[in-house]
Amino acid sequence: MKDIKTLNDNQLLQQLNLSKASLADRTSENDLDYLALDLQIHQISLELKNRALRKSQIALKQSRDRYTELYDLSPIGYVDLDKKGNIIDINLTACKMINKERAQIQGGSFHRFLTQNCKNTFAKHLQRVFDTKQKTVNELELQTPWQNIISIRLESIATNNDITHQVSCRSAIIDINASKQALTTLNTKEDFAENLIQIAPSIILVLDTVGNIVSVNAFFELLTGYSLVEVKGKNWIETFIPLREQDHIHSLFYNATHGNRAAGNINPIMTRSGDEKLIEWYDTALLDNAGNFNGILAIGQDITSRINVEMALLESEHQLRLITDALPVLIAHIDNQQCYLFNNKVHHQWFSLSDAEITGKHIKDVFGKKAYAILAPFIKSALDGEQVACELQLPIKNKNDCFVMVNFFPYIPNSGTLNGFFALMSDITQFKHREVDVLQRLITLAHQSRLNMLGEMTSEIAHELNQPLTAISNYCAAGLRLHKVGKLATEEIPKFLSEIIGQVERANQIIRHLRDFTQKRELQLKKLNLNDLITDVLQLMVGEKHKYDVSLSTALEAENACVLIDKILIEQVILNLLRNAIEAMADQKNQNRNIIIRTLTSNTNTIVVKIIDNGPGLSDELMSQVFEPFFTTKEDGMGLGLSMCRSIIDTHQGKLWVTQNARVGTTFNIELPLHD
């Protein structure tokens, strides 16, 4: 037989059955054999039992190890203590908490890991566990030489050891440090809240169920002038609410006590100094744990100044409305999307619409497509942040010949980003028509004045015309006479004739000039050289010049003298000024009477004509009056000459003014814009 130890369990069972069968077959012939067989059966049975035991032993060990592992790695510390507080067993988590090796502390006292403060508590805890066998919970503090203090909760029960029948204290050690810290923070927060309550710029008021004051904060004291001590227990409504408001507040309070809160109620309260402060209130009902009404917490905002500011704002808005409505200008605020934010009364009345029909609408819808097409580029400029000013003729429905003066101001508030633009518009249609009327009248007046002027100059002009006529007549007479006596050489005839033609042309020019000058005509702006024009005008002045014995010289220095003007009107102005200068000097005896006409370009945009005389000059008083209508120094003058001249120059976007010469005489200055 093989060594049974080398056989596996099945072989062993086979052998056992084999041995038992052999035993049954045998008689007791040989007791020794029988005995040996019986022994073998026992041996096998024993081996089998041993093997089963070993298996259960291994299983048991595995189970115990698993338990130990669980025990040691549990997030909760476990410790078994005896009656004296010595450590019977401790898991790794607990060891970690006290930062010690298990072997070091097993059997040692747990007391030494506790702070001095809680040693007593621990002793009582232990005693209670052993005495009462009830679950006992206490908060303690662990302390180790290298560790900070750790707050723990010790939850202990009494356990019986099955083997020793010894009672021990099994404790769970729960680290409550994190929650403890949170609690500390919570305490700090409470302090913070308390501080907040005290320093908040709001009233915080606690009333009891009947409306008596329980507590107030510092701001309340500051605002009302009463301290908490003075007002505690007093009835809120009777003490602080003005009589006229008391009924109202009573009912609000009643509602609040019945769960109907009125948030945002505004009412005045009386201060110690007798002022009233307007407070906006936010109430919260205070409920006890059972949910019963326990009082009111009210937070109040002093809105006295805010209300004042709001009132002032409303007032100024109202005023602004009044002003913008009263202004005879169309005012609107257009947003970045070209829609109306605001428009004044004149604006919507002009369109025969109501405010509501315009506000929020797109400009296109208000002005109409045609007008919008004209406005669009200007709107774009305004929304690009550019200021716009122009006169436009807009095709507006139900309006004929409509002229508007348009001003767009981009609106850039303090934030720095464009918020649309303000549109200011004036209907200048009538003004435009008047402008045309005025121009028409000016043209008529100028024509009349030219006729008058020529009337006064008739004899001088006749004299001028007489000169070429005399010469013509002379040439003809001389020719005839020479011919009569046979002395006219044939080759001399062309000379005579061309002289005559020259003189006819001379007369013609004067007549043409006169005809132009006496014609009444519309404004005709033409590109002209001002220097040439002055030379032409002087032709009409030859007679006057002689009559009054005046020297007329020119200094036409302006290199660029190109202007867009009505020739006749500007000639008239210059003629007028020249005649004035001549007449002013007429009374000067035995003196050189000089007039210089100068042109110069003072800057790149304008040309200036200066008519400089050496006459007696004008007094300061006269200087300021000469351009006024109906002002005259002449006995027979109408006094319209210079005022008309100024109107004519104004019509040409120019300026006419008078200056005193440094030594003698006066200078009349005409400034006209140059034309490219």
Partner 1 sequence: MNKKTIIHIIDDDEAVRESLKLVIRSADYEVVTYHSAEIFLKKFKPESAGCLLLDIRMPGMSGLELQALLPTLHIYIPVIVMTGYGDVPTAVRAMKAGAMDFIEKPYNHDQLLNRIDACVNDAKSRETLAQQLKGINRVELLTPREREVMTLLVDGKINKVIAAELGISTRTVEAHRANLMEKLQAKSLSDIVRISVLRNKQLISAPY
Q: Give the interface with partner 1 as residue ranges (CB under 8 A).
A: 459, 462-463, 466-475, 477-479, 481-482, 485, 487, 499, 502-503, 506, 545-547, 549, 551
At its nearest, how many Å lie between partner 1 and the CB of residue 474?
3
Contact 480, 459 (CB under 8 A): no
At its nearest, how many Å lie between partner 1 and the CB of residue 465?
10
Residue 187, phi then psi, degrees to nearest 5: -60, -45
Contact 655, 606 (CB under 8 A): no
Residue type (1 letter), 608: V
Integer angstrom CA distances of residue 122 from 82, 95, 144:
13, 18, 16
**Cα radius of gyration (the chain):** 61
Residue among 601, 598, 596, 630 nearest 614 (CA): 596
User: CB-hemisphere CA count at 13 Å for 449?
Assistant: 24
At its nearest, how many Å lie between partner 1 and the CB of residue 511?
16
Residue 160 or 459 having the CB closest to partner 1: 459
Helices 567-585 and 493-518 meet at what angle, rounded to 10? 100
Phi/psi region, residue 211 (left: phi>0; alpha: psi -120 to 50; beta: rest), is left
Residue 244 or 484 having the CB closest to partner 1: 484
Residue 21 or 480 having the CB closest to partner 1: 480
Residue 464 or 566 having the CB closest to partner 1: 464
At its nearest, how many Å lie between partner 1 and the CB of residue 577?
20
At its nearest, how many Å lie between partner 1 and the CB of residue 518?
21
**Which structure tokens are listed for 270?**
């009386």
Residue 250 or 547 having the CB closest to partner 1: 547
Contact 94, 77 (CB under 8 A): yes
At its nearest, how many Å lie between partner 1 and the CB of residue 473?
4
At its nearest, how many Å lie between partner 1 and the CB of residue 547?
7
From CA 628, how far away is CA 621, in angstroms rounded?
12
Q: Enumerate residues 6+ apart whose C-beta is below 8 A from 166.
A: 82, 160
Residue 197 or 469 having the CB closest to partner 1: 469
Contact 282, 202 (CB under 8 A): no
Residue 87 or 578 having the CB closest to partner 1: 578
Residue type (1 letter), 178: A
Integer angstrom CA distances of residue 148 from 143, 144, 171, 182, 486:
7, 7, 22, 17, 155
Residue 157 or 469 having the CB closest to partner 1: 469
At its nearest, how many Å lie between partner 1 and the CB of residue 536?
19
Residue 61 or 546 having the CB closest to partner 1: 546
Give, rounded to a whole angstrom, the gap between the first and last alpha carbons of the chain: 141
What's 114's DSSP letter?
Answer: B
At its nearest, how many Å lie between partner 1 and the CB of residue 545?
7
In the three-class reduction of DSSP (H, G, I as helix; E, B as strand; rest coil), residue 554 is classed as strand
At its nearest, how many Å lie between partner 1 and the CB of residue 541?
12
Residue among 151, 172, 175 nearest 71 (CA): 172
Residue 349 or 466 having the CB closest to partner 1: 466
Contact 155, 140 (CB under 8 A): no
In the three-class reduction of DSSP (H, G, I as helix; E, B as strand; rest coil), residue 417 is classed as coil
Helices 429-456 and 567-585 meet at what angle, rounded to 10? 50
At its nearest, how many Å lie between partner 1 and the CB of residue 583?
18
For 200-205, the CB contacts below 8 A with 24+ separation are 201/302, 202/299, 202/300, 202/301, 202/302, 203/279, 203/298, 203/299, 203/300, 203/301, 203/302, 204/297, 204/298, 204/299, 204/300, 205/236, 205/297, 205/298, 205/299, 205/300
Residue 2 or 487 having the CB closest to partner 1: 487
Contact 167, 160 (CB under 8 A): yes
Residue 485 or 662 having the CB closest to partner 1: 485
Residue 5 or 484 having the CB closest to partner 1: 484
Contact 339, 423 (CB under 8 A): no
Residue 393 or 592 having the CB closest to partner 1: 592
Residue 574, phi then psi, degrees to nearest 5: -65, -40
At its nearest, how many Å lie between partner 1 and the CB of residue 597?
16
How big, in percent rounded to 5, are the helix, strand and coil portions of the chain? 50, 25, 25
At its nearest, how many Å lie between partner 1 and the CB of residue 507?
11
Strand partners, 333: 342, 422
At its nearest, how many Å lie between partner 1 and the CB of residue 494?
14
At its nearest, how many Å lie between partner 1 and the CB of residue 506?
7
At its nearest, how many Å lie between partner 1 and the CB of residue 467?
5
Give the position of tokens 């917490």.
297
What's 466's DSSP letter?
Answer: H
Residue 181 or 553 having the CB closest to partner 1: 553
At its nearest, how many Å lie between partner 1 and the CB of residue 634?
21
User: CB-hemisphere CA count at 13 Å for 533?
Assistant: 24
